[in-house]
Structure 1
Amino acid sequence: MTDRNIVVMGVAGCGKSSVGRLLAEAIGARFIEGDAFHPPENIEKMRAGIPLDDASRAGWLAALAHELEIGREQGQPLVLACSALKRRYRDALRAGDPELRFVHLHGERELIAARMRERSGHFMPESLIDSQFADLETLAADEQGLDAHIGASPDALLRQILSALE
């Protein structure tokens, strides 16, 4: 369906990993969980309720951009679950693939907070949700991507995304 790399982006708790896995399977791409590339010090900061700053994210974004570059060079499309909250973060990812496409999962703060409360075993506390929304810069008109509201089921979101990618 697509031979291009895709980033499923949005604030914590919006369903990036779940939707990203479904999308990767549907298009025959390799799925990458961006959180797995955080260095231990980033995980500990977030676990302690400390939002990451741009400097803390720089190496993480560079590692993800490298993965995207490898996928592009090898002709193996990737679906990456990554917050990509700010334009400059998305620009850093585009350094690995200038043709990168984004799927921005979004929803109301209350819905996302409820989802964060329901999940277990994740390092990101609900207390960081406001910092996530404060950092969020929606896709600009010149960025390749689409918006999808998380009020729909994961399967419905997948159908919407696949239709938009065609």
Structure 2
Amino acid sequence: MQQAAARRGPKMAEAEAQGSVAPVARASGRRLLLLTNGSRGDVQPFVALGMALKRAGFAVRVSTNVNLVGFVQSMGLDAVGTNPDSEVWLREDPKMVECVSKGNILEFMRSLNDFNRKHFPEALSKKIEEVNAWRPDLIIASGLDYAEAVVLAGTRGIP
């Protein structure tokens, strides 16, 4: 947070303290990283949030599944693929096809756990690279990315 304050300068900090800065001015130059993954239905609410934050003046980057990068970019947001293709997994993994067709949530959660075990090391490595490169002032994460966000933010002093 001190890094962000230093980028804004003392006059901006003083104006903020007095409450005389418009929200867009307070947001200007602040970098937000949105961590979200899953199906399009999981990611789309974060795209809407990112669009609103961008309109408010924030620099927004979305970390998501490789298959959803184009969708996020088509909405005018910067995006990076840090998670594997979720649609391939949902369509091609026999366990997933079966549990989704039968509505078996317990088997879905087991399969999700197996998928995450397999892909977690690479996805986390990509997220670490992204946080180091983007240097966000704030990280906002979905439930599926929450644990990683806590570690990434906490080890770097990012709220």
TM normalised by structure 1 equals 0.32
- Report which of the two structures shows the higher radius of gyration computed on alpha carbons: 2
Q: Which has the higher contact order (CA 8 A, sep 6+)?
A: 1
TM normalised by structure 2 equals 0.33
